[in-house]
């Protein structure tokens, strides 16, 4: 089949400089959802009609295309946009005449492959147009499906061209249709714009098909939400929630325990093994993989990370570009930045920031530390307030801390510096040279006490 996706509209009601079809659902452009659903039908060609913001739409979408999708995609510019029929007219020279054509909208992102297959099968069975129609309690704004007393579809009337009797019809045109391509070309080529909006309506091909005595059938969507379009920020947000709920359902079907399926956001891909538990308010971005038995506490943000089996991520932790565990405990309030590798059984506590560093098995950094560009061995204890001074104002330098080191609280390690195996650093040390293995190293001013010392008193005026 050919797939035509209409995406030239301006989307004025979004009140945004971003072309409408690039507004995200689940962290990626709406149009990309429609493209991937279309691709799953294995069409010969996908032709996308763009106009408003054409360059930006094309560049953004092409940047994320797989080679397989790229090889079947074609872009067609429609400028100015003179209606849905005019949009399809721009694609006619590209259509393969020997297979049916499916028309989709770039701003209706939740459409499912099963529904589209039913449309294509309708054409293949009846050799005529198949429409995706739905029944809305409030059909305002949509084209209405006009049927004869026997239930045969006669035409589609747009809201603006309809009288009160026609407006009372509740069966609406979702806009999605499939048609035999040769006939589609004939009908679209003969459209006019004699209507209330002065546009070339794709929907007028229904009347032309009826006039030729060709059959018209309709199918209903699997779920009504598949047909919801995005015209405003409110509608985008509503569809975002519906989409997130679908992801939540898939996770729960796979055995993930979600504290509240209405309070999770997945902007990317989240892959969970068995017995994973996720509390409310978590946000996942990019590619996240969570192994068996992991617990994620409330309000965590996790981006491009892998979390090993049995690890616990406590509340309000922010994890970006890290490999963790197994059996690690992170947070609450921890921040792991890109390039972080946390081995088995490590504890990272509250207000600890780690960047481009590795911690070996069973090491601990339990409170208030900054570990940047550090290689830390096994069973190391990093005291509260420890800081790796990795930046000298020009370059970054590494800190190496070998196995079984004990670092006292409030220590600064001025990199580049190495702490040898089993060394102890006294609290408050500013380490500027390597610390030898198995020794106590400390740098500390002599402690003094001043007898009879009096605090200054505030003067009386
Ligand atoms: C259209 C249908 C209407 C249906 C409704 C469903 C027509 C004449 N009407 O109306 O029966 O109930 O969709 O939402 O088809 N587009 C272009 N080029 C254009 C005009 C539109 O690419 O010149 C694209 C838009 O970007 C959008 C889609 O086509 O993705 C629908 O356009 P829109 O203006 O929203 O159509 P409606 O008037 O709502
Ligand atoms: Ca619309």
User: Which domains can be identified in the chain, with CATH numbers?
Assistant: 2-227 (3.90.550.10), 256-441 (2.160.10.10)
49, 7 in Cβ contact below 8 A? Answer: yes
Q: Which residues line ligand 1 (CB under 6 A)?
A: 6-9, 49, 78, 81-84, 86-87, 105-107, 142-143, 156, 158, 172-175, 201-203, 229
Name the nearest CA neighbour of 368 among 322, 312, 410, 313.
410
- Above 90 in pLDDT, residue 309? yes
Strands 424-425 and 301-307: unpaired
pLDDT of the residue at 461 = 78
The per-residue pLDDT for range 124-168, each reduced to its tens digit, is: 999 999 999 999 999 999 999 999 999 999 999 999 999 999 999
The per-residue pLDDT for range 415-427, each reduced to its tens digit, is: 999 999 999 999 9
**If phi over 0 gives left and psi between -120 and 50 gives alpha, with beta otherwise, what is residue 431?**
beta
Indicate the top mutation candidate among 34, 81, 84, 131 to test ligand 1's pocket, ranked by most ligand atoms within 8 A of CB.
Answer: 84
- Above 90 in pLDDT, residue 221? yes
Q: How far is the CA of 143 from the centre of ligand 1 (A)?
A: 10
- Above 90 in pLDDT, residue 413? yes
- Above 90 in pLDDT, residue 343? yes
Closest CA to ligand 1's atom 1: 175
* Confidence band of 460 (pLDDT split at 50, 70, 90): confident
pLDDT of the residue at 125 = 97
pLDDT of the residue at 295 = 98
Mean pLDDT, residues 182-208 taken together: 97
Burial class for 357, CB neighbours closer than 10 Å (0-12, 13-18, 19+): buried
Mean pLDDT, residues 197-217 taken together: 96
Least confident window among 32-41, 176-185, 267-276, 452-461: 452-461
57, 109 in Cβ contact below 8 A? Answer: no
Active site residue 367: yes
What long-range pairs does 124-127 form, CB within 8 A, spacing at least 24? 124/100, 125/217, 126/215, 126/217, 127/180, 127/214, 127/215
Mean pLDDT, residues 402-410 taken together: 98
Which is the closest atom of ligand 1 to the Cα of 156? 11
Residues ≥6 apart with Cβ < 8 Å to 369: 351, 352, 353, 382, 383, 384, 385, 386, 387
Average pLDDT of the chain to the nearest whole number: 97
pLDDT of the residue at 79 = 92
Closest CA to ligand 1's atom 34: 9
pLDDT of the residue at 18 = 96
Q: Considering every ligand atom shown, identify the ligand nearest to the alpha carbon of residue 235 and give its number.
A: 2
Q: Helix (H, G, I), strand (E, B), or coil: what is residue 160?
A: helix
Give CA separation, 407 vs 43, 174, 210, 398, 438, in Å: 62, 66, 84, 17, 12
126, 223, 367, 397: the catalytic one is 367
Mean pLDDT, residues 366-377 taken together: 98
Mutual orientation of helices 30-39 and 113-126 as an angle, nearest 10°? 50
Q: How far is the CA of 84 from the centre of ligand 1 (A)?
A: 5
Strands 153-157 and 257-258: unpaired
Indicate the top mutation candidate among 9, 179, 193 to test ligand 1's pocket, ranked by most ligand atoms within 8 A of CB.
Answer: 9
Name the nearest CA neighbour of 78 among 45, 105, 47, 52.
52
- Above 90 in pLDDT, residue 9? no
């Amino acid at each position: 089949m050919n797939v035509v996706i209409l995406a030239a509209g301006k989307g004025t009601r979004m009140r945004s400089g971003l072309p409408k079809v690039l507004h995200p659902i689940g962290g990626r452009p709406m149009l990309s959802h429609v493209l991937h659903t279309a691709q799953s039908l294995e069409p010969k060609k996908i032709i996308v009609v763009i106009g408003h913001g054409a360059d930006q739409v094309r560049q953004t979408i092409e940047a994320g295309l797989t080679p397989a999708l790229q090889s079947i995609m074609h872009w067609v510019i429609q400028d100015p946009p003179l209606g849905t029929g005019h949009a399809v007219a721009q694609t006619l020279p590209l259509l393969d005449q020997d297979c049916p054509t499916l028309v989709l909208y770039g701003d209706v992102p939740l459409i499912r492959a099963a529904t589209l297959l039913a449309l294509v099968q309708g054409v293949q069975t009846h050799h005529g147009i198949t429409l995706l129609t739905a029944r809305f309690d409030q059909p305002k704004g949509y084209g209405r499906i006009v049927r004869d007393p026997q239930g045969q579809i006669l035409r589609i009337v747009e809201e603006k061209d309809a009288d009160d009797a026609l407006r009372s019809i509740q069966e609406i045109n979702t806009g999605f249709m499939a048609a035999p391509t040769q006939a589609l070309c004939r009908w679209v080529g003969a459209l006019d714009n004699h209507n209330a909006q002065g546009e070339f309506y794709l929907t007028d091909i229904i009347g032309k098909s009826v006039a030729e005595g060709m059959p018209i059938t309709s199918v209903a969507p699997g779920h009504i939400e598949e047909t919801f379009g995005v015209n405003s920020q409110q509608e985008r947000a509503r569809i975002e929630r519906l989409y997130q709920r679908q992801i939540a359902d898939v996770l729960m079907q796979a055995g993930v325990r979600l504290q509240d399926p209405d309070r999770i956001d997945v902007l990317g891909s989240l892959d969970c093994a068995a017995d994973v538990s996720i509390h409310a308010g978590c946000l996942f971005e990019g590619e996240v993989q969570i192994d068996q038995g992991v617990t994620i506490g409330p309000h965590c943000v996790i981006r491009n990370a892998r979390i090993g089996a049995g690890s616990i991520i406590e509340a309000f932790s922010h994890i970006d570009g890290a490999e963790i565990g197994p059996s690690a405990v992170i947070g609450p309030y921890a921040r792991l930045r890109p390039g972080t590798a946390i081995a088995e059984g490590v504890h990272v506590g509250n207000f600890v920031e780690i960047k481009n560093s590795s911690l070996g098995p069973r090491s601990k950094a339990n409170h208030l530390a900054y570990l940047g560009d550090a290689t830390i061995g096994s069973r190391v204890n990093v005291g509260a307030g420890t800081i790796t001074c990795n930046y000298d104002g020009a370059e970054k330098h590494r800190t190496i801390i070998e196995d079984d080191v004990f670092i006292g609280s409030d220590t600064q390690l001025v990199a580049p510096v190495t702490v040898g195996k089993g060394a102890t650093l006294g609290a408050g040390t500013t380490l500027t040279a390597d610390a030898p293995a198995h020794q106590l190293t400390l740098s500390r001013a002599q402690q003094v006490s001043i007898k009879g010392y009096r605090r200054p008193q505030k003067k009386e005026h």
